[in-house]
Amino acid sequence: MSSATDRLSTVTGRLDQSLQPLANGFNRLFGSYVGELNGLQFVFVFGSLAAVVTAPFWGTFGLVRAMTVAAIWAIFAMSWDIQSGYTGYISFGHSVLSGAAAYTTAMLIHNVDPGLPMAITIPLSILAALVVGLLISLPSLRLSGPYFSLITFVAVLIFYRLIPSFSSYTGGETGIQSVEVFTYDPIVRYYYMIVPMLVIAVVLTLIARSNIGLILVSIRENEAAVNAAGIDATKFKIFAFALSSLPMGIGGVLLVHFTGGVDPTTFIAVDRSIEMIAMAVLGGMSSVLGPLGGAFFLIVLRDYVLTDLAGLSSPARWTIFWSLVLVVLVFARDGLFRKLWHGLERYGGGGGRP
């Protein structure tokens, strides 16, 4: 076994050396901002990027649609991770943030003016997600551990129960189904979702690798030491929650314009938050790109491989979905993406953190 590993290491090492000049060019320009890559990591990152960008030109209709949905969920997973993965404060309430944005869009169109331009509805909807995020974070982030998680969970229950109480505005349990979709063209629709996802991934990566990201990780590792150093940990926790609210709002707007409607089960239920967590865990928490990879892996597996190719029933698909998450939790707690990244680092010539 060791000899086979040695041979693999020799082959990949040579391949890495041949690719390293490309990686060096990238590292000189962007390494200080996003981390340095070895040759194998460079090919993996930009090969994956090329595959995502060109998917409509080589993928089937079902695959492209699954990747379109995956782009939205990748935004959700990355948003959850920049708060919970980096600070260690696990939130079960992030579905409320995307739901707040989606419902704001739908209610503005349904109750105020169906002709309102997106230039008005989108910023207001993202602002609504930010306001709700602050309302949740200001009281809850002064607590820690299970108490914080419990408050975020209760926030979902409150929001979920309030919607039927204002059914004349929210549409009650059936929601509002009169939102204009961006477009019915599958290729244009795909890029409507992919471009914001890529921009958010870059922005969150820059923040995560800045001094702010270092402080957030320090809060997770030893919050008392952060406070002892004269840094107000609570302010940074609130900042992280507010920061995650903005892309959550963007994702909520994208989803409501993708589906053409909003309802509490699809947007608010705690199941949605747990799915975000599952994607982040499977990809690898506190890495930004890990949750992105986890979202694409799980959504494409569930909505394309198990649905279109295997033709499995919904219960079977969900059973496989959650079983896979459970296996990763038990045997690869760092996440599949992080395992892969470290493998490329091991068999190549070093590299950076994802």
How many domains does one find in the chain?
2
Shared domain check, 313 and 231: no
User: Percentage of the chain with pLDDT > 70?
Assistant: 95
Shared domain check, 252 and 186: yes
What rounded mean pLDDT belongs to the chain? 91
Shared domain check, 318 and 342: yes
- Residue 127 located in a structural domain: yes
- Residue 301 located in a structural domain: no
* Digit-coded pLDDT (tens) for 227-260: 999 999 999 999 999 999 999 999 999 999 999 9
- Residue 336 located in a structural domain: yes
The residue count of the chain comes to: 354
- Residue 278 located in a structural domain: no
Question: Where does a domain end: 250, 272, 294?
Answer: 272
- Residue 327 located in a structural domain: yes
Rounded distance, CA 226 to CA 233, Å? 6
Shared domain check, 264 and 145: yes
* Digit-coded pLDDT (tens) for 138-188: 888 878 888 899 999 999 999 999 998 999 999 998 999 989 898 899 999
Q: What is the rounded average pLDDT of the residues 105-119? A: 92
Question: Where does a domain end: 272, 299, 318?
Answer: 272
- Residue 279 located in a structural domain: no
Q: Which domain holds residue 1?
A: 1-28+37-58+309-353
Does the pLDDT of residue 1 top 60, yes or no? no
Q: What is the rounded average pLDDT of the residues 299-314? A: 94
**3-class DSSP assignment, residue 269:** coil
**103-107, 115-119, 124-128, 139-143: least confident range:** 139-143
Q: Give residue 349's pLDDT.
A: 60
Asked if residue 240 lies in contact with residue 133, where contact means CB atoms within 8 angstroms, the answer is no
Rounded distance, CA 164 to CA 205, Å? 38
Q: Which long-range contacts (CB under 8 A, 24 or more apart) does 325-332 make?
A: 325/278, 325/281, 325/282, 325/298, 328/281, 328/282, 329/281
- 9: enclosing H helix or E strand: helix 2-34
50: burial class by Cβ within 10 Å (0-12, 13-18, 19+)?
exposed
- Residue 174 located in a structural domain: yes
Question: Where does a domain end: 272, 296, 326?
Answer: 272
DSSP string, 161-201: HHHHHTHHHH-GGG-B--PPPS-S-HHHHHHHHHHHHHHHH
Radius of gyration (C-alpha) of the chain in whole angstroms: 21
Q: What is the pTM of this model?
A: 0.94
Rounded distance, CA 282 to CA 305, Å? 17
Shared domain check, 119 and 150: yes
